[in-house]
């Protein structure tokens, strides 16, 4: 489709349906909804949570931290295979579209909720805006890569975070009049919340303050199936972290599924898991690697912004560490965010334990200088997006 679907043009506000399904979506939708709320005569907003990430406590925590209202619609689809989850979302979201008749559906990123809701909207001829369009790892074994490619092909407004993404879309045949380089909505949230995140008590709770100074520590996140579902790979990564922890304390806010796999593979002693660390006094002996439950957005932002190094398989964290100037080691074979390597503080390492350990030790000694702040990562992405929607 070469022509861009136009938004409904009348005297009434445009009815916008924002789709979220996983925690990274929350950080990106918050600045959009905040900016859109400045034009109540132009936009009528609804927030739909598919329930793809279905931890109620974690979702509530993120919504509160980001100043988001409770979702207007909650599908509650829960877990399942990629096909089951995508199918459930499509069935339920179609019912919502018939009832609510949105003029625009906004989808974010690359999760199953993104492609599921975009497919439904496309088949109902509802215009689609894709936030974070055009990112490519060029690895189609990643389910997220399939979601990205297909969502971009059926979207009407493709909002990109970097010029590489623009070029990817053009090479795939997307008309240039649909592509808008606006910057990074996740960075909008980070810059907007840094000051309040600094008031978090997470560093004190974890014993990372000594003599009014922050101790040197590393931060780890792991959640991708390629890392946590293979016992050999997971054990190798944990062994590498153990080696790094001889140089620096490691804090590991662990995804529930990751902890489940660590327990299944009988590796829990390698991470010293403190399940109730908020309510209990930490045993600070023998804790060079400390795993804790997931944190809210503000606590995690505080922890990340003060870390000496971050080791992760997350996409968004590669971007956030670039803005914060924190060295980031990505424990994946590729990244859909190459700008964080070219211009930021990111090194893509893969899962080789020796390479992880040796690189981490080297980076702790020498650092990773940030080349520059990527263009338009200035906290104004949402403002640009809303202006485009108002004029196109």
Rounded CA-CA distance 300/276 in Å is 17
| Crossing angle for the helix pair 23-36 and 185-197, to the nearest 10 degrees | 90
CB 232 within 8 A of CB 198: no
Q: Left (φ > 0), alpha (ψ -120 to 50) or beta: where does 325 sit?
A: left
Catalytic residue among 18, 53, 223, 255: 223
Q: Which residue has the tokens 């505080």?
A: 302
DSSP 111: S
Rounded CA-CA distance 82/230 in Å is 18
If DSSP codes are grouped into helix, strand and coil, which group holds residue 187?
A: helix
CB 152 within 8 A of CB 347: no
Active site residue 223: yes
Pairing of strands 209-210, 213-214: antiparallel
Q: Is 159 exposed, middle or buried (0-12, 13-18, 19+ CB in 10 A)?
A: buried
In 3D space, the residue among 95, 90, 91, 154 whose CA is nearest the CA of residue 127 turns out to be 154
Rounded CA-CA distance 23/131 in Å is 15
The CB-based long-range contact list for 3-10 (8 Å cut-off, 24+ gap) reads 4/156, 4/157, 4/175, 4/177, 4/178, 4/392, 5/125, 5/127, 5/156, 6/127, 6/392, 7/103, 7/104, 7/127, 7/389, 7/392, 8/103
Beta strand residue intervals within 24-171, DSSP E? 43-49, 73-74, 104-108, 128-133, 157-160
DSSP codes of every residue in 298-350? HHHHHHHHT-SEEEE--SHHHHHHHHHT--EEE-SS--S-THHHHTSSEEE--
The residues annotated as belonging to the active site are 223
């Amino acid at each position: 489709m070469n022509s861009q679907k136009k938004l409904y043009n009348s005297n009434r506000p445009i009815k916008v349906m924002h789709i979220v399904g996983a925690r990274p979506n929350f950080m990106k939708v918050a600045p959009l909804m905040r900016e859109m709320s400045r034009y109540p005569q132009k936009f009528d907003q609804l927030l739909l949570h598919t329930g793809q990430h279905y931890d109620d406590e974690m979702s509530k925590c993120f919504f509160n931290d980001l100043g988001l209202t409770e979702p207007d619609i909650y599908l509650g689809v829960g877990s399942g295979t990629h096909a089951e989850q995508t199918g459930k979302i499509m069935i339920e979201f179609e019912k919502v579209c018939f009832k609510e008749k949105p003029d625009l559906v906004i989808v974010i990123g690359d999760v199953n909720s993104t492609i599921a809701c975009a497919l439904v909207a496309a088949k109902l001829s509802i215009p689609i805006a894709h936030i974070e369009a055009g990112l490519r790892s060029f690895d189609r074994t990643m389910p997220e890569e399939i979601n990205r490619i297909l969502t971009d092909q059926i979207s009407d407004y493709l909002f990109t975070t970097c010029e590489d993404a623009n070029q990817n879309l053009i090479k795939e045949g997307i008309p240039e009049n649909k592509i808008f380089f606006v910057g990074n909505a996740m960075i909008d949230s980070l810059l907007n919340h840094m000051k309040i995140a600094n008031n978090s008590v997470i560093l004190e709770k974890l014993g990372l303050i000594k003599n009014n100074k922050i101790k040197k520590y590393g931060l780890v996140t792991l959640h991708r199936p390629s890392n946590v579902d293979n016992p050999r790979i997971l054990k190798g990564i944990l062994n590498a972290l153990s080696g790094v922890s001889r140089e620096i304390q490691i804090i590991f806010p662990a995804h529930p599924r990751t902890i489940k796999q660590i327990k299944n593979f009988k590796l829990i002693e390698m991470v010293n898991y403190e399940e109730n660390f908020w309510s209990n006094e930490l045993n600070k002996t023998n804790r060079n690697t400390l795993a804790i439950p997931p944190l809210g957005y503000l606590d995690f932002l505080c922890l990340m912004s003060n870390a000496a190094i971050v080791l992760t398989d997350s996409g968004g964290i590669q971007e956030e560490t670039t803005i914060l100037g924190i060295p980031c080691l990505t424990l994946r074979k590729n990244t859909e965010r190459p700008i964080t390597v070219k211009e930021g503080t990111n090194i893509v390492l893969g899962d080789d334990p020796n390479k992880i350990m040796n690189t981490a030790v080297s980076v702790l000694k020498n650092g990773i200088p940030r080349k520059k702040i990527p263009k338009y990562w200035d906290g104004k992405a949402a403002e640009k997006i809303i202006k485009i929607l108002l004029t196109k």
